[in-house]
């Protein structure tokens, strides 16, 4: 089978190879992978930023979707021909995450999905609804579920609330789509006027260019009559968390998602206490949450925003596109 192997850290070391098709164990499922989508975690893993002790070589990328080819003798949840997507935390099925669950990431604790065929435990897969293609479904497990967990499960966003979205990556675009589906107002930020136009086309009610208006937290307050947003997902980390906190209304919610500008956060204690803010670390979600989200996506017929689809032969180019930040929504590699 065709597969991408990462033999040592670095984007230049993503190599297309011929590999042996894996055999599923008794409780495992062999998937004919149709597409994978890239997330920042894939970039960080590939460059050795996230876990420099990760055993190599390996097949990278966590998010994938495809069709069941064969199943192990003990498998009961799926059969040949079923369309499935890969759940990120394979063992986090429901409830609160444990240490063991946290160490079950697809693409790290297991081989990844960037190959013609991949094997995963049956409990680490979720069925794809008829309203989504496998390409579309491949974008959901990390980015969409992170947005869902943050805004709906933790942030408790509802109609009439104001949501602040940051940038145009997968999590932020899904946050915009979910917020609008709920009837919330969306204030969206980007450093590109062209991207801001795309955000408006996707339903953003107000937009802010954070490069020409670096005091974007003050602009959020102005747009909300001095009150602030009800919720935001902070994707930047060190250089954005302060403004995220200052952008929120009393009892507002910020979900900590990304570390693009650094992972050591300068937290304003007095702002958090005086405004009674809720700050919650987010790391994707459980399989139960993914299944709930997929039902909601199917129910409203939400369509993921896909920026570019690359063939597997151009995997390095896809990763470099991800690294550049010059995209809106999701980057997909078609197998």
Please report, for the domain that includes residue 260, its CATH number.
Answer: 3.40.50.720
E strand spans, 38-115: 63-71, 83-86
Q: Do 171 and 205 fall into the same domain?
A: yes
pLDDT averaged over every residue in the chain: 96
Q: Do 245 and 220 fall into the same domain?
A: yes
pLDDT band, residue 260 (cuts 50/70/90): confident
Q: Do 252 and 198 fall into the same domain?
A: yes
- Rounded average pLDDT over 129-142: 99
Closest CA to 149 of 333, 54, 288: 288
pLDDT beyond 90 at 85? yes
Give the domain range for residue 122.
Answer: 2-141+286-334
Percent of the chain topping pLDDT 70: 100
Give the residue from 281, 298, 319 where a domain finishes: 281
Give the residue from 237, 266, 281 where a domain finishes: 281
Task: Please report the pLDDT score of residue 239 as a whole number.
Answer: 81
* Count of domains forming the chain: 2
Residues 6+ apart with CB under 8 A from 304: 132, 136, 139, 140, 144, 174, 329, 330
Give the Cβ contact number of residue 314 at 10 Å: 16
Task: Please report the pLDDT score of residue 193 as a whole number.
Answer: 97
| DSSP category for residue 258 | -
pLDDT band, residue 265 (cuts 50/70/90): confident
Task: Please report the pLDDT score of residue 261 as a whole number.
Answer: 73
Q: Do 12 and 135 fall into the same domain?
A: yes
Q: What is the pLDDT of residues 270-318, one digit of tens each?
A: 898 999 999 999 999 999 999 999 999 999 999 999 999 999 999 999 9
Q: Do 170 and 237 fall into the same domain?
A: yes
Q: Do 99 and 201 fall into the same domain?
A: no
Q: Do 291 and 277 fall into the same domain?
A: no
Do 58 and 4 touch, CB atoms closer than 8 A?
A: no
Task: Please report the pLDDT score of residue 266 as a whole number.
Answer: 80
Q: Do 168 and 113 fall into the same domain?
A: no
Closest CA to 74 of 108, 122, 107: 122
Q: Do 135 and 165 fall into the same domain?
A: no
- Rounded average pLDDT over 192-214: 98
pLDDT beyond 80 at 263? no
Radius of gyration of the chain (CA): 20
Q: Do 7 and 137 fall into the same domain?
A: yes
Q: What is the pLDDT of residues 225-234, one digit of tens each?
A: 999 999 999 9
Q: Do 272 and 298 fall into the same domain?
A: no
Distance CA 218, CA 220 (A): 5
pLDDT band, residue 52 (cuts 50/70/90): confident
- Rounded average pLDDT over 245-259: 94
Give the residue from 236, 264, 281 where a domain finishes: 281
Q: Do 120 and 52 fall into the same domain?
A: yes
């Amino acid at each position: 089978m065709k597969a991408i192997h990462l033999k040592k850290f670095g984007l230049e070391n993503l190599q297309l190879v011929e590999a042996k098709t894996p055999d599923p164990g008794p409780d495992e499922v062999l998937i004919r992978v149709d597409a994978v989508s890239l997330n920042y975690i894939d970039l960080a893993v590939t460059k050795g930023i996230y876990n420099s002790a990760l055993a190599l070589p390996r097949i990278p990328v966590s998010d994938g979707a495809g069709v069941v080819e064969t199943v192990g003798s003990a498998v009961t949840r799926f059969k040949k021909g079923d369309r499935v997507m890969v759940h990120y935390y394979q063992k986090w099925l429901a409830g609160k995450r444990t240490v063991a669950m946290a160490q079950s990431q697809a693409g790290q604790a297991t081989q990844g999905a960037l190959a013609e065929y991949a094997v995963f435990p049956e409990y680490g897969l979720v069925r794809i609804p008829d309203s989504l293609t496998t390409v579309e479904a491949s974008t959901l497990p990390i980015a969409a579920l992170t947005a869902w967990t943050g805004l709906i499960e933790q942030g408790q966003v509802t109609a009439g609330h104001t949501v602040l979205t940051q940038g145009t990556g997968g999590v932020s675009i899904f946050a915009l789509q979910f917020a609008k589906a709920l009837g919330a107002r969306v204030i969206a930020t980007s450093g590109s006027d062209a991207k801001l136009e795309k955000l408006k086309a996707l339903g953003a009610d107000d937009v802010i260019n954070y490069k020409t208006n670096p005091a974007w937290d003050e602009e959020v307050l102005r747009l909300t009559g001095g009150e602030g947003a009800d919720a935001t997902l902070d994707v930047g980390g060190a250089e954005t968390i302060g403004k995220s906190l200052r952008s929120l209304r009393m009892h507002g919610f910020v979900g900590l998602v990304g570390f693009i500008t650094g992972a050591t956060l300068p937290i304003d204690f007095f702002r958090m206490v005086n405004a009674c803010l809720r700050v919650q670390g987010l790391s994707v979600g459980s399989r139960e949450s993914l299944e709930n989200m997929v039902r909601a996506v199917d129910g409203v017929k939400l369509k993921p925003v896909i920026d570019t689809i690359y063939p597997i032969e151009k995997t390095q180019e896809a990763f470099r596109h991800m690294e550049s930040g010059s995209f809106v929504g999701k980057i997909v590699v078609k197998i």
